[in-house]
Amino acid sequence: MPKLDQRLTTVANQIQSKTHVDIGSDHGHLLVSLLKSGRIERGIAIEDKRSPFAKSKAALIDLNAEVRLGDGLAVLSPKEADSLSICGMGGETVVRILDAFPDRVPSIVVLQPNRRPELIRRWAQRSGFHLTYEQVLWGRYNYSILGFERAGTFNDPAYKGVEMEAGLIFGPLILKRRSPEFISLLRAERTELSKHPELCIVSQRRLEIINCILAMGVPSQRSLAEQPESCTVRA
């Protein structure tokens, strides 16, 4: 069995289903581990480039898996898989893949974006997926790992007690935990943003939210509204 790094191990621990599809599997190690550990019965790896396609094919030989060459969900049929993972891509790319064929997205989704996880949270909100798992692996690179399940409703309980915009940007479960690493990251970003006398609207909004989080703990919708202008998230 291949030895997964902490990032993929964390992803693997969130997956247990009959048929799992991994888009952008690269070396195929995640599917190999899931199959050999019995966490899934069947695996589907999808690659859009020849080299990783060949690597995954070699890694998954003699296992109950297949490797397909194609662009994301274009080569998957609706309801063919029970769960899905996409790891190591930017949030923009992940959302593009999910939005291209929404009827082919399985009910369980585990995503590890390399950047802009807020785009994935917004996708989940408008697509009726609820957040079931949220973790950041802190280190030289901060890896977000997000687990979702299709709920059919748009009122995600993970955001209860958290101001929605703050939760979408930083993660509702991350906000509630308030880990030392998270607080340190916010302070560093506040320092950097505060160096600039003129910020664009998006950066100014982000700075306001950071100030509220650091000043108040986990901001609720009501407490944000009651704060003075300097600590209000403006629409």
In whole angstroms, give the CA distance from residue 63 to residue 59.
9
Q: Residue 109's beta-bridge partner residues? A: 84, 148
Q: How many CA atoms lie within 13 A of 78 on its CB side?
A: 4
In tens, the pLDDT along 22-45 reads: 999 988 999 999 999 999 999 999
The angle, 0 to 180 degrees and rounded to 10, between the axes of the packed helices 91-100 and 117-127 is 20
For the chain, domains (ranges, CATH) are 6-154 (3.40.50.150), 175-231 (no CATH)
β-pairing, 108-115 vs 83-90, is parallel
**Mean pLDDT over residues 75-102, rounded?**
97
Report d(CA 175, CA 158) in Å as an integer: 11
Residue 155 burial (CB count, 10 A): 9
pLDDT digits (tens, 9 = 90+) for 120-135: 999 999 999 999 999 9
> Is residue 232 over pLDDT 90?
no
> What are the pLDDT digits (tens) for 158-168?
999 999 999 99
Mean pLDDT taken over the chain: 91
Residue pair 116/93 in contact (Cβ under 8 Å)? The answer is no
Look at residue 229 in the predicted model and tell me its pLDDT.
36
Tens of pLDDT, residue by residue over 96-128, are: 999 999 999 999 999 999 999 999 999 999 999
Q: Higher pLDDT residue, 194 or 218?
A: 194
Name the residue among 34, 54, 53, 55 with its Cα closest to residue 43.
34
Residue 221 CA to residue 164 CA, distance in Å, equals 7
User: What is residue 72's predicted lDDT score, i.e. its pLDDT?
Assistant: 97
Q: Which secondary-structure segment (H or E) carries 21?
A: strand 17-23
| pLDDT-based confidence at residue 217 (cuts at 50, 70, 90) | low
Q: What is the mean pLDDT of residues 138-155?
A: 92
Distances in Å between the alpha carbon of 121 and those of 71, 115, 132?
A: 22, 12, 12
The pLDDT score that the predictor gives to residue 197 is 85
**Dihedral sign computed on CA atoms, order 64, 69, 73, 78:** negative
Average pLDDT over residues 141-147: 95
